[in-house]
Every structure is written in C-alpha cells, then in structure tokens.
Structure 1
C-alpha cells in the first residue's frame, strides 16, 4: 500500500472477510487518530480488549505484513490530505458547515476510489462490455439508479444494455445469457442475494460478469470475473451508500469513456445521431 490514500479504503474493503470480533477490532483501530510510531502493540490490544495475537492476526488479514506495517500504514493515512477531508456531521452544524462536510466527504470518496482502482481490472471490464452482444446491468434500490444512469450513457454512443431491478427478471435474463454476453452487477454491500444468484447463473452459462461494489472480499466480488471497487467512509447521517454513489458514478463515467475510445469514430457518429433525435424535444 504505497499510496497513503489507499490504506483506509483497503481496510474498509476487507472488513467482510473478518469475523465479527475481528471486524470490531479493525473498526476500533481504524477510528483512532492518536496512534504514533511509539504506540506499542500491547496498548492497542488492551484498548480493544483482545490479545496481542488477535491484533497481529487482524493486521495480516487486512493485507499488512504485521502490526508494525499496520501501524505505519495508519499513521501515513491519517496524515494524508484525503483522511482529513472526512468529518462527521453534528446536530450543531450550520448550513455552511453541512455543505462543506458533505462536499469534502464526497471528495474523499473520489480520492480514495481513484487510489485503489485496479487499472488492469478496469481495462478488462471495458473490453468485456465493448465486445458483448448482450449486456445486462443489474441492481436494486440506489444501485439500480446507477445502473440506469450508466445504461443511458452507453445508449448515447450506440451501445445497448438492459437494466433489471427485479429478482425474477434478473434470473430470467441470466438464464438466456451465453459466452458472448456480459453482466454489470451493482451492489454496495456485495451481499445482495438476488444479484448474487443472477450473477452465478450468468457465469454458469458462460457470460462475463463485472461487479461494482464497496467490498473486495464480499460474496459478490468472489463470484465474478472482474471487480471494480468504490470506497466511502461511513457517516452516521449520510450513510456509506450515499457517498459511495458519487465515487461509483465517476468510476462508471471513466468506464464509459474507455469503452467509447475502443471505436471512437462509431461512438462520435452515434452520439451525434442520438443527440439529433432528442433535440426536437427541447425548447429553444
């Protein structure tokens, strides 16, 4: 983890792989801002109410070589500009403070999502979507709204996708997919049962599947061909989902551009055609 901005994001993305106790310890340590290079393992363990061996175990499951690397990573993260962007909203905050905190939290999500982006996975996802004959974009709730936004962008350049936010429709379409098709599955938690079931069926039939999620170790992430991770620090009022949505929309905007670049001439021609088609609907 050479980029300090990626430390917090990497830790949060791996939380689902931890046991409830390990997750509690990880979140307690991540929430601390007083850790220094002099903070001993014993102190961390005592404040978390666990053994020193448990802290080391958690550090390794989070991707660090051991406690010292974990401690150094946290110190680098908390002194980064990215970590400083996030502060919780309080009942006493004025309108000006609220606007500042909401915008800065969104900026943090963008910075950290960019820091953890796997460019190899990103390019594979673009290739799968570009080459696919049929594209299914699936998700529920807020995730479905992101899927619709992305499908709209792709339609503008002549790349069609079907959006499903109904469990039965997802499964019916997945049953008809094959090796020439692709699925773009959205789930913030990566644990949405209906999405996972549709993804598993689609992959069984040979389709390529891309997941957009906040957790790299989630059930959905383990069930797909390519994982694109967004990240957001939890906020009691805003919630993790709301902030992550900003990062996901930007991530998918980049994916849209990458796909368009694969045949820029066709993309530009189709964009001009679709813009002309709706121009008559605008009042000038």
Structure 2
C-alpha cells in the first residue's frame, strides 16, 4: 500500500467513525483534524488542553476510531496532510470567482472518489453483486437525493434486463417490505445511515428474510448495523457544498462497479439484453 492510499484510508476511517462519537468526542476529533499546528512532536497534553478533555479520552477516541493510540492517529493525519489530496478540498468563499468555484466543486468530487476507492471493500462489492444477480426481486429504498441515486441504478440495471423498483415513500417501503422474502434483496440508500423511513423499511424487510444491502457514507451507521452487506463511500463537506454532493458521485461509482460485476455474472445474457434495450431506444435519438 503506498503512502497516499494508506493516508486516505486513515482519514476516511476517522470521518466514518464520527457517528459513533459523543458530542465531546466529536469536538476532540474536530480539534485533531483541524489543528493547524499539529506536528509529529505535538504532545497529547497539548491536544487534550485544546479540546478541553482528559488525555485518557484522547487515547480512548483514537482507539475508537480504529488506531492503536494517539501517536498512530496523529501520524495518519500528518501523512494525509502531506499527500496532494490534503490540498484538494477547501470551502467555497464569497470572494471566489466562477473558475475557482468550478475547481473546488470538481476537486471535492475527485477527492471523494479517490478516498472511496482507497477504502472500498471489494469483498462486500462481490457479495452485493452475487446477491443482486440471484435475487427474484430487488427494491431500492431511499428518500430525497438517495432516491435519485436509486433511480439511476434502476435505469442502469434495466439496460441488462433486471427490473429494480424504487420506493421513496415511507408507506410504500413498509408495504414492499411486508411482501419480500429470503429470495429478495433491498438496496437501502441513506447518506447519513440514519434516515428513519429507510431504517424502518430495511429492518422490516430483513425480518421477512430479505437480504439488505446498505449504501451509506458511514460504515458504522444504524443502517449498516441492520444490513447484511455494507457499501461505504467517504466524503467530507462544508457549509455550502455539504457531504452529500460529493458522496453522491462516489456512491454512483460504487454502484457502477456492482453493475458491471452483475453484468459479468450474467455473461452473454447481459450482452444480449443490453443490445436489445439499446436498439429499443435508438430510434428515439435524432440522427443528422
């Protein structure tokens, strides 16, 4: 693993652990990741004082994030800052011109893609593809922007002859879940992993035997706890862009990988159906 990928994984680990932290622990995490004077020689006491917490809590939070201790966490943050990705993201300001805005928007998406690739669980992708390939029926649960991701996925899979149904209403999700069986799959999409309608629908579907695939920006979210398979993106954001915009790009790419693998599993049948669906809409395009 090269230093850049390793640092990206480390910082993604920090970001994805945030939903599991208390308010005090989250404040400490913010100090750790934003402290501009952080150096390899920075003592734990300095960070504890800055965050107004005990040194013991600093060690506890480092371990909660998946590191051996404060020193490993500090090294991960410093390694990330040294990599070129550390300079990719900066929040849009009132003084930015359109060129600067475009650059920041694009670079935020590039960063999300690179970091998501660094932490992508290939085994989970394979299991998700296998589950979708074998499913009798697939329902996609999501609201707002997550529902739009679901519609893109539904459109993509229809191209190879697989019909996915998008449910973006809490009542429809519960009705769907009530009739699913162990031969069926739910693809539950929630950026935060805490969307009530998606959680309730996925939980009910699972109680009826359906396989739950979660797609979220946090791999320790309540949705991930329900899921049989979790596909995680990682994206940071600020007041204007937020996380969702960049995460949406990363999540669409994750599902593109799953789509390609399902098509591979389907083999010639996928190619045949792709040719048929492409032909079906070809006369809807204006030719010169």
TM bracket, shorter-chain basis = over 0.9
Stretch moving more, 129-138 or 70-79: 70-79
Residue 165 of structure 1: aligned partner: 168
Distance in structure 2 (CA, Å) of the matches to 1:283 and 1:124? 40
SS at match of 1:86: coil
Quote the Cα distance in structure 1 between the aligned partners of 2:156 and 2:224.
Answer: 24
What displacement does 1:142 show? 0.2
Deviates more, 1:87-96 or 1:27-36: 27-36
Which range moves more in the overlay, 24-33 or 238-247? 24-33
Taking the aligned partners of 1:156 and 1:126, their CA distance within structure 2 comes to 16
Deviation at 1:83, TM superposition (A): 2.1
- 1:38 aligned to 2:41? yes
| 2:197 pairs with one of 163, 183, 194 | 194
- In structure 2, which of residues 212, 218, 233 is the aligned counterpart of residue 209 of structure 1? 212
Unaligned residue ranges in structure 2 (runs of 5+): none
For residue 33 of structure 1, report the CA deviation from its aligned partner: 3.6
1:279 Cα offset (Å) = 1.4
The 4+ residue runs of structure 1 with deviation greater than 4 A are: none
Distance 1:257 1:32 in 2: 42
Q: Of the candidates 105, 109, 114, which is equivalent to residue 108 of structure 2? A: 105
Q: Secondary structure at the match of 1:63?
A: coil
Q: CA deviation at 1:205?
A: 0.8
SS in 2 for 1:4: helix
Q: Would you say 1:261 and 2:264 are equivalent positions?
A: yes
Q: How many aligned positions are there? A: 284
Q: What secondary structure is seen at the aligned counterpart in 2 of 1:239?
A: coil
Alignment partners' CA distance in 1, 2:65 and 2:75 = 13
Instruction: Determine the C-alpha separation between the residues in 2 that align with 1:182 and 1:248.
Output: 18
TM-score, length-normalised on structure 1?
0.98
1:148 corresponds to:
151
Counterpart pick for 1:4 among 4, 7, 21: 7
**SS of equivalent to 2:103:** helix
2:127–2:229 contact (8 Å) kept in structure 1: yes
RMSD: 1.1
Question: How far apart, CA to CA, are the structure 2 residues paired with 1:22 and 1:109?
Answer: 24
Q: Distance in 1 between matches of 2:216 and 2:196?
A: 14
Matched, 1:77 2:80: yes
Distance 1:187 1:223 in 2: 13
Q: How does 1:170-249 map to 2 (within 5 A)?
A: 170-249=173-252
